[in-house]
Structure 1
Amino acid sequence: MTVMIRRCFLGCLLLLLAAGVAAAEGPQGLKIVSVKPGNGGIYAIVSVEFPKAWSDPAFTVEVNGKAVRMRQVGGGFSGDRSMADLMFMPGRAAKQSVAVKCAAGGRKTEARAGFDWTAAPFVAVLGHTGNREMVAAKEKLTIAAVNVTGVRVFFNGKEIHAKPSAGDIETLTFDPAWKKGRNVLTINADKWDGGMIAKNFTFFDLGEGGTLPPGQSALVHLGREGTKSGPFYDVKVEGDSVALAQGTTVRRDIVDRDGWLVSETWVAAELRARKEGTAKVRVFVKPHFLQNMELEREFTITVAGE
């Protein structure tokens, strides 16, 4: 009798412990909260929640039954639940299903959901804005294209023939035939829905012999946007042929070391050509608020009619 009582007591104790663990994990396990477009509709972000008691959860994502690359881009917690935002490339189909699998603390679980998807066409020049952008060196340009086909590239009206790379992000690198002054890059591509996307990018080569027409403005990129600690930038113009219009920020798209398309915020200064003549432009940088402002570069702009 004593042995049976002990066994019953131990059994009840184990049930209470199990109930306590279940209560700590919350009433639900892994749950998909939403699937939304991210980064301009290039990627999708699936938001999940799960018990906070799960330690070091490892996630994987499948789309239509196929494993895809995933990056965690957000998270948090509320009460006894934790949250995670997982970014992935959905692909082309309009009707899709996503499965999020999680391994944590020796357990494996998954959640599934269906979602509607409209892929947004995207073309850009990596590391550049192409918005009246001043270039200091005759560098190669790399184009990135997503969710489009039949990419065609023209530089100053001449078609560029280069072999694009394969993958989620199609890239095409070429060596432009830069000319002094204004240069125009045009990218045409076919959308998946049968339409077409066309974008123009403008660059100014204002090196020796390059000119800026009166009334035209150009942007000089100063550097990445900093924090309250720095870096800080300043621009000085000598000569009344060019006026410093305003400071601004621009977005530059890049592919990071892990192969994801991301945007960086850069500080830029807009320079406006007022009248024919020359002006000297000096760019100063203060890397940290404890350091001094130092001259980083200087150049001369010639204003003349085209």
Structure 2
Amino acid sequence: MADNRTPQRPLRPGEIQLKAVRKEALAPAGDGELLELPVIEPPRVQNARGKRPDWLRVKLPYGETYRNLVNIIEEHNLHTVCQSARCPNMGECWTAGTATFMILGNVCTRSCGFCAVLTGRPAPDLDWDEPRRVAEAVRLMGVKHAVITSVNRDERDDGGAPIFAETIRLIHELGATVEVLTPDFRGNREACQMVFDARPEIFNHNVETVPRLYRRVRPQANYQRSLDVLRWAKEAGLKTKSGIMVGLGETDDEVLALMDDFVAIGLDVMTIGQYLQPTKMHLPVEEFVHPDKFRWYKEVGEAKGIGHVESGPLVRSSYHAERHV
């Protein structure tokens, strides 16, 4: 007898094939076979704690371009999240002539368990010359797409939003595009609107981890509030982006549920990277997630409806940011 079943495409990495079953197995009436359906499953890999695996080894920053960028940043009394957060991609990005600028100073009012940025009481006044200095550095560095982020300034009602807006405006005058990675402004919609009105090409706000871990990872933050900020940005007509770290003790089901929340608010871009402990005083790494799992996260996230998922052990919020415009 001829085999009239629908031919199947080759399986993708991380998929398994369900066997064909007869309808009688599901219902007493009718006959024939159901289509075989691919099921995306997590790759079965062993993820270990302890010593960093080889896939997390990076080259130290080097080269004349890197040294020139350091000089520009120091001359203009600026801060980069690359330095403050000890980003593992600093060498790659800076050697390529790009950097993420951190505005509103380098002292944060929050004490997130994963972050290497200094916690304390910032200087009472905003530095109103900071936007000009950032724009000048962007010009001197020849940056075409600038990423602007900041510490939290919870002591201010506006959270420093006017500095964000002015920085965006001045960089746009140079003809460069802008991605902002903002705090949640404590849910102050008027402060958020100041940033929205400046029309950055990408509005990024990281939820950082799954809701269950917030008390330990982001004690002064609120998961729903972060989703609200992203939803407001989307409603304002901006391209939205958010990211998480893995390896903090989250489960696959929790990550997939978070992706569903992102789909519900129409998120455009998601980043997923490995959490790396900045110092022994910070949260420990619970798991070094295998690269195969990151590929699986990307596949599942995009299948769910997130436009683009940048997922890999060394991925950070601004990694390949110019590709997300």
TM normalised by structure 2 equals 0.22
Structure label with greater radius of gyration: 1
TM normalised by structure 1 equals 0.23
Structure showing greater relative contact order (alpha-carbon pairs closer than 8 Å, 6 or more residues apart): 2
**Between structures 1 and 2, the one with greater helix share:** 2
**Between structures 1 and 2, the one with greater strand share:** 1
